[in-house]
């Protein structure tokens, strides 16, 4: 019996993954207030690392303090952040061989917010909030504090901060970097004409709006171990008329592909509260399918992928090279086990759990 494609190896750059299941970055809003990981992250990442997936990507980690979505976001901009992440990684790696990457991010005008379970509203300056920055002085939604438009000096500082975070990730031995250019955060804000109304080299034309994302990719690629992958996550569309769309995403993907980008992770939306979308199974997979036709690098699909047969169909139909799960993995942290059981494949499990396989699935664990 042929191995299901979901459980065949995939190579990102020079890093071989055992299967094509990716655990997408998921913000936990549980850092210590200074951007450093806590015991929660050891528990959270530790149990996801026992799932049998091919790759685990750490949540969006801010490259400076002002780039956090909330005061409790993880950062990778200080020695304390690096030391705390090192402790977490050592605990996880002691019990799992799963490759671990990190998503480097800056929230732009969507920073300075409360935790989602507290409503997620923008925090006032006298209530723990801070001034935000963006390509242009345009707030995310009506009634919010406007961000400060970034100067050219601010842009140079930002690039240096991404590079420093990449060097920290390298010292930590992380296997991969994903740049966050999706969901309405800073790099996405530069890409979209809805949020970027600059009249300099970083605004106006598509070439200019792509400039910062490409420059940061180049700088991070140079700073990170050449044998390790650097990729990017994008929103395929703003789902707002006149905004960032799929054809612009294709042009960005082509430019990144030409620069040696290791993978592209295709999500959508998040830039503008006016977005209109029809949420359903595979609803963002068309972004991956279209971009895959235009590039040689591996493409990762997301979008309410919940069933093993559904994930297998995406790969067999050559709509993407891998699938990523986020909320679905939180809901079912052993999703890869259950997918392997249903599709007739094998999956890695720790020795301590080998006795857990049902009597009818004696060959589930490799």
Do residues 244 and 194 make contact, with C-beta atoms less than 8 angstroms apart?
Answer: yes
With beta carbons less than 8 A apart as the criterion, state whether 110 and 185 touch.
yes
Contact 294, 322 (CB under 8 A): no
Do residues 266 and 292 touch, judged by C-beta distance below 8 A? no
Contact 326, 295 (CB under 8 A): no
Extract the tokens encoding 2: 């042929």
Burial of residue 273 (CB within 10 Å: 0-12, 13-18, 19+) is exposed
Residue 356 and residue 149: Cα distance in Å, rounded? 55
Q: Tell me if residue 226 falls in helix, strand or coil.
A: coil
Distances (CA, A) of 32 to 40, 115, 168, 331: 10, 13, 19, 25
Q: Which of 14, 1, 21 has the alpha carbon at shortest distance from 314?
A: 21
CA dihedral (160, 163, 168, 169) in degrees, to 10, reads 150
C-alpha to C-alpha distance for 141 and 149, rounded to whole angstroms: 16
Within the chain, what is the greatest distance between any pair of CA atoms? 66
Integer Cα distance of 251 and 255 in angstroms: 6
Structure tokens at 219: 């700088």
Which helix (H) or strand (E) is 104 found in, with range? strand 100-105
Query: Which residue of the set 77, 185, 331, 353 is catalytic?
Result: 185
| Catalytic residue flag (residue 185) | yes
Helix spans in 172-284 (H): 186-191, 206-223, 246-258
Give me the DSSP letters along 234-301.
EES--SSTTS--HHHHHHHHHHHHHTT---EEEE---S-TT------TTTTHHHHHHHHTT-SS-EEE
Contact 147, 137 (CB under 8 A): yes
Which are the catalytic amino acids? 185
């Amino acid at each position: 019996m042929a191995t299901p494609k979901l459980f065949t190896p995939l190579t990102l750059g020079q890093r071989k993954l055992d299967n094509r299941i990716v655990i997408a970055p998921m913000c936990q809003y549980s850092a210590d207030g200074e951007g450093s990981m806590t015991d929660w992250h050891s528990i959270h990442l530790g149990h996801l690392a026992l799932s049998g997936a091919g790759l685990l990507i750490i949540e969006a980690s801010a490259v400076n303090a002002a780039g956090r979505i909330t005061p409790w976001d993880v950062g990778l901009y200080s020695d304390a952040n690096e030391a705390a992440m090192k402790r977490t990684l050592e605990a996880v790696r002691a019990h799992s061989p799963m490759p671990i990457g990190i998503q480097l991010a800056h929230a732009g005008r969507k920073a300075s917010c409360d935790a989602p379970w507290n409503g997620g509203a923008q925090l006032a300056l006298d209530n723990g909030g801070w001034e935000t920055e963006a390509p242009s002085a345009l707030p995310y939604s009506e009634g919010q504090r406007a961000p400060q438009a970034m100067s050219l000096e601010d842009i140079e500082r930002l690039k240096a901060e991404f590079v420093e975070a990449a060097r920290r990730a390298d010292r930590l031995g992380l296997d991969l970097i994903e740049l966050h250019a999706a969901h309405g955060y800073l790099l996405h804000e530069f890409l979209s004409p809805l949020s970027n109304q600059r009249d300099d080299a970083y605004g106006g034309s598509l070439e200019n709006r792509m400039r910062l994302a490409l420059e940061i990719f180049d700088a991070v690629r140079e700073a990170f171990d050449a044998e390790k992958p650097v990729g990017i996550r994008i929103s395929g569309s703003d789902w707002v008329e006149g905004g960032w769309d799929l054809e612009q995403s294709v042009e960005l993907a082509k430019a990144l592909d030409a620069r040696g980008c290791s993978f592209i992770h295709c999500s959508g939306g998040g830039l503008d509260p006016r977005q209109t979308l029809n949420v359903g199974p595979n609803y963002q997979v068309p972004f991956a399918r279209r971009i895959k036709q235009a590039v040689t690098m591996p493409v990762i699909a997301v979008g309410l992928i919940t069933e093993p047969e559904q994930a297998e169909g995406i790969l067999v139909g050559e709509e993407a090279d891998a699938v990523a799960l986020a909320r679905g993995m939180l809901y079912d942290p052993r999703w890869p086990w259950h997918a392997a059981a249903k599709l007739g494949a094998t999956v890695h499990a720790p020795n301590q759990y080998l006795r857990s396989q049902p009597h009818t699935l004696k060959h589930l664990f490799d």
